[in-house]
Amino acid sequence: MSAQFGRWNLDGEPVDTGYLERVRSLIAPYGPDGGDCYSKPGISILYRAFHTTNQSRHETQPHPSASGAILTLDGRLDNRDQLIRQLSATLEADATDVEIVAAAYERWAAECFARLIGDWALSIWEPNERSLILAKDPVGTRHLHYSLDERQVSWSTILDPLVLLADRSFELDEEYIAGWLSSFPAVHLTPYVGIHSVPPSSFVIVRDRKLTVRKYWDFDPGKKVRYRTDGEYEEHFRITFTQSVWRRLRSDTPVVAELSGGMDSSSIVCMADAAIRTGAAEAPALDTLSYYSDDEPSWNDRQYFAKIEAQRGRTGCHINVGEHRSLDLQFHTEEFMATPGSGHRPTPAAKQFAQCMASHHSRVLLSGTGGDEVTGGAPTPTPELADLLATLRLRQLAHQLKAWALSSRKPWFHLLLETGRRFFPPALVGAPKHRQPPAWLHPGFVKRHPAALIGYERRLNLFGPLPSFQDNLGALEALRRQVGCSALPSGPPYEKRYPYLDRDLLEFLYAIPREQLVRPGQRRSLMRRALVGIVPDEILNRKRKAFVSRGHRVAIASQWARLIETSQNMVSSSRGILDTASYCEALEKARSGKEVPIVPLLRAIGIEMWLRNLAHSDLSHTGQRGTTDRPLRLARNESLTYIQRLLS
């Protein structure tokens, strides 16, 4: 996770050196291993390095290509060996990732992006053509934001310099807030109107003062993987999943893996151990990090992650999140919160996490995010039944309806209705119950942003790709939104990697029949069958993990006086986002242990704290703002006025 920033003055005027120094101070914590700068009339590009591989320590960025294009790459190439073979005439065997990308761009131009497998965000400045390209990998695991006006183009790994150092103010984007309140915002949005994110699997090109967004690659609905036996599917899954984990063990320091005791994280750890034992992985060691809470009667996974620790003969870091659970209701902070998920005060658990990473000298964290969504964790028959319905395989549809009805203890007719309603627009049949906007949102706000508030739920297209393929892409889009909203760590920095979001693994899982993934009474059927003998049976056969809510309710009760105080004069209410009376009623229900959508309620509290942070942050430490020649210190009252313009 390196940091990049660029400013292109379209009129050719030099970029102010004082401005660049302030940018350096903002991005330096995300790239502690030094960096460099490319500056020519009208354009400056900054790069701050964060090394995680041996090759990255030999990179020089920004990197000039043979034709003079200037590249900055934040990322990791997983198919570097294959690309080196294809580009052997211009590359050495030990070429760095940015050298490989530069050679690929020289050979294939923008068509090279589809060939780059891994986690990456890339900027390319073409001085001869006076054009700029910004691109992201198909999942969007790296951040890259940009803004364009009549005078300049700016882009950055983090939002802070684009907001704090702009010579103009921004309105807040209501759709972003609506997306955050329901699940996560659309991938191209940021909280600020006029600042965007490069979408996954796409590139942005700026030329002749015009900006175009193009998709360079997508999953192929026509790709099919069909075998005669279950064993062949299982073998293919093992090979592809193993490759995905091995790719993310490319690190010259020990790697830490989250280990919750669930199937996702446990499978990653078991596969990683095998890779390190056989010498197939670059990482010298793997350590684990587990969270637990003895206060949660329905959720305590110590007995399960202990099984994995016993199998590997090594105890990992354990962090008790129950004893320090609380709500962060502090908004008069010195730190600017660019998004609702950033800038919070370090909790005791966060401090222990930082100590764990530091004690192992690790810069890479493996995450099980996405496993539930891509391997059939939700035991729903709808995608399979929709496939049968769309392809008019009525006899098989009748058979599967009966099997699923017996397994789920639902009438087959109800299952058929649930399947059929997916082909109609949500506006016509209504959103699913779990997608309904909570009652404490202002009716006008709900009316303005219906799509974002139901998680961008879409109907299945009867005449498009197979419904299961459409459903897979919908789940992936939700994961893209989640990953895109994750706050970048800087204290200390580390790189998060997601084995379940590997492009080759996703292509395989999207190409096989749905009934391989989920069967009546067999959630995650393929994964469970394929990992027998690798992951302990107690993990493979455990029930689905319970959702934790008691701790959050206790936290609401413990902060009750503060919550009531903040509800008296809410920024989110004055902006027409929340209805204060309904919000307070929901808080009372949560405190009393009554049924209430707890996650959306916590999101509402978080949005209110974020809005208050924007209104009260002291930004005087940023110094001069914008590109003016006059030094400008933002005193507290001035900064308050500036940020309040964001809220107007």
Quick one: 586 exposed, middle or buried, by C-beta within 10 A (0-12, 13-18, 19+)?
buried
**213 Cβ neighbours under 8 A, 6+ residues apart:** 188, 199, 202, 203, 204
Which residue would you say has higher pLDDT here, 416 or 645? 416
* Complete edge-to-edge strand list for the sheet that includes strand 3-9: 35-40, 43-48, 3-9, 152-156, 145-148, 195-197
Residue 549 confidence (pLDDT): 62
Residue 512 has pLDDT above 50, yes or no: yes
Instruction: Note the pLDDT tens digit of each residue in 582-612.
Output: 999 999 998 888 888 888 999 999 999 899 8
Specify whether the CB–CB gap between 542 and 267 falls below 8 A: no
CA 102 to chain centre: 26
Range of weakest confidence among 125-129, 345-349, 531-535, 573-577: 345-349
Domains of the chain in start order, with CATH, are 3-215 (3.60.20.10), 230-325+360-375+478-540 (3.40.50.620), 382-467 (no CATH), 550-647 (no CATH)
Q: Which of 248-257, 299-308, 419-428 has the highest mean pLDDT?
A: 248-257
Residue 333 confidence (pLDDT): 55
Backbone φ, ψ for residue 20 (5° rounding): -65, -35
Residue 316 confidence (pLDDT): 95
Binned at pLDDT 50, 70 and 90, residue 334 comes out as: low
Residue 190 has pLDDT above 60, yes or no: yes
Q: What are the distances in angstroms from CA 412 to CA 380, 387, 390, 398, 405?
A: 13, 16, 17, 9, 5
Instruction: Note the pLDDT tens digit of each residue in 261-272.
Output: 999 999 999 999
Specify whether the CB–CB gap between 69 and 105 falls below 8 A: yes
Residue 624 has pLDDT above 80, yes or no: no
Backbone φ, ψ for residue 105 (5° rounding): -70, -35
Residue 620 confidence (pLDDT): 30
Name 214's bridge partners: 203
Cα separation, 123 vs 205, whole angstroms: 10
Q: Over 514-547, what HEC string results?
A: HHHHCECCECCHHHHHHCECCECHHHHCCCCCCC
Cα separation, 97 vs 103, whole angstroms: 10
Cis (ω within 30 of 0) for the bond into 597?
A: no
Instruction: Note the pLDDT tens digit of each residue in 296-320.
Output: 656 668 889 999 999 999 999 999 8
Average pLDDT, the chain: 89
Q: Which of 84-88, 337-341, 433-437, 558-562 has the highest mean pLDDT?
A: 84-88
Residue 648 confidence (pLDDT): 40
Range of weakest confidence among 36-50, 441-455, 531-545: 531-545
Q: What are the distances in angstroms from CA 161 to CA 146, 155, 164, 201?
A: 11, 9, 5, 25
Residue 545 confidence (pLDDT): 63
Binned at pLDDT 50, 70 and 90, residue 636 comes out as: very low
CA quadruple 433, 438, 441, 442: dihedral, nearest 10 = 50
Backbone φ, ψ for residue 618 (5° rounding): -90, 110
Specify whether the CB–CB gap between 323 and 295 falls below 8 A: yes
Instruction: Note the pLDDT tens digit of each residue in 92-122.
Output: 889 999 999 999 999 999 999 999 999 999 9
Q: Which of 304, 555, 514 minimizes the C-alpha distance to 389?
A: 514
Q: Burial code of 262-300, b = ≥16 C-beta within 10 A, e = fewer?
A: bbbbbbbbbbbbebbeeeebbbeebbbbbbbbebbeebb
Q: Which two tokens stand for residue 86?
A: 């294809």
Specify whether the CB–CB gap between 165 and 23 falls below 8 A: yes
Please report, rounded to a whole number, the percentage of residues in the chain having pLDDT higher than 70.
91
Binned at pLDDT 50, 70 and 90, residue 183 comes out as: confident
Binned at pLDDT 50, 70 and 90, residue 328 comes out as: low
Secondary structure of residue 197 in the 3-state scheme: strand
Kind of pairing, strands 35-40 and 43-48? antiparallel
**Mean pLDDT within 385-399:** 95
Specify whether the CB–CB gap between 289 and 396 falls below 8 A: no
Neighbours of 388 (CB within 10 A): 23
DSSP type of residue 147:
E
Residue 643 has pLDDT above 70, yes or no: no
**Mean pLDDT within 416-445:** 87
Cα separation, 556 vs 550, whole angstroms: 10
Give the DSSP per-residue string, 10-27. Answer: TT-PPPPHHHHHHHHHHH
